[in-house]
Structure formats: C-alpha cells, structure tokens
C-alpha cells in the first residue's frame, strides 16, 4: 500500500489563461516563506476627523411666486409669510408656480404641487379668518 504524504499543499486560482477559463493549480513551494502568514497583522484605520459645524445659522429660505395665467412674477425674494399672502390672490393652487432657494447664491427650485397646495391652503385659511 502506498504511503501518503502528510504535507499539505496550498492551491491558488490561476487566471492567466487568456480567455480559456481559470483553473486551480498548486502553489509552488520553492522560495515560499512559511513564516509570512504569521507576520501579517491586523490593520487599524483611523477615522477621518469630523468636519466642524458651522457657527453661523443656515441661510433662510426665500420664495418666488409666479402667476401662470397672467405670466407675471407676483413676488421674488419673499419670506414664507409674504409668499402665502401672494398666493392668497390666486383662485387655485394650480394657477401658481412657487420656487424656493436657500441663500442668495443658490438656484431656484420648483416646489412640488403638494407643497404649493399647502401654502395656498394656508393663504385661504388666513383669508377666511381675517
């Protein structure tokens, strides 16, 4: 009966087959450093420092209200109260396009129809109360 060797082999996936598929081949023992696995250490990465919070408050939101039917701007650089008052002049929420921006250098962003309806509802409730 043949005697089996008790030496374990390390296998590696050989991918240098130029498109014909990869195969598993034994890793040659020649020149291999057996103590190398023991030298590997756990690497600890330091977290990057947290950015400092700005000391100044965020810029206020300003609004621009455009009457779609008349094609004119009802107000620009308005605060929330003035935007609600400008919407109170309109018959429906669909008659207006409301834009918002945060800061003077920012771009205008169109509010969704749901948000425009909320502002228009506030204008209607204010008109009914006053």
User: What's the whole-number mean pLDDT along residues 58-87?
Assistant: 91
Q: Within 10 Å of residue 120's Cβ, how many Cβ atoms?
A: 22
- Residue 100: band (very low, low, confident or very high) from pLDDT cuts 50, 70, 90: very high
**Per-residue pLDDT at 16:** 67
Domain assignments of the chain as residue spans, ordered by start? 61-129
Indicate if the pLDDT at residue 66 is higher than 70.
yes
Query: What is the reported pLDDT for 105?
Result: 84
Cite the beta strand spans of 15-71 per DSSP E: 23-26, 61-67
When pLDDT is cut at 50, 70 and 90, the band that residue 34 belongs to is low
Asked if 65 contacts 111 with a C-beta cutoff of 8 angstroms, the reply is no
Give the tens place of pLDDT for each residue, 12-24. 766 666 666 666 6
């Amino acid at each position: 009966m043949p005697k089996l060797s008790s030496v374990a082999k390390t296998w590696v996936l050989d991918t240098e087959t130029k498109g014909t598929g990869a195969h598993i081949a034994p890793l040659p023992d020649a020149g291999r450093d057996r103590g190398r696995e023991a030298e590997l250490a756990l690497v600890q990465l330091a977290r990057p420092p947290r950015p400092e919070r700005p000391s100044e408050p965020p810029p206020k939101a300003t609004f621009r209200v455009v009457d779609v039917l008349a094609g004119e701007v009802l107000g620009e650089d308005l605060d929330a109260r003035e935007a609600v008052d400008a919407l109170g002049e309109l018959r429906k929420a669909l008659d207006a396009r409301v834009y918002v921006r945060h800061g003077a250098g920012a771009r205008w962003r169109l509010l969704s129809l749901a948000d425009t309806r909320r502002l228009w509802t506030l204008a209607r409730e204010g008109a009914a109360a006053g």
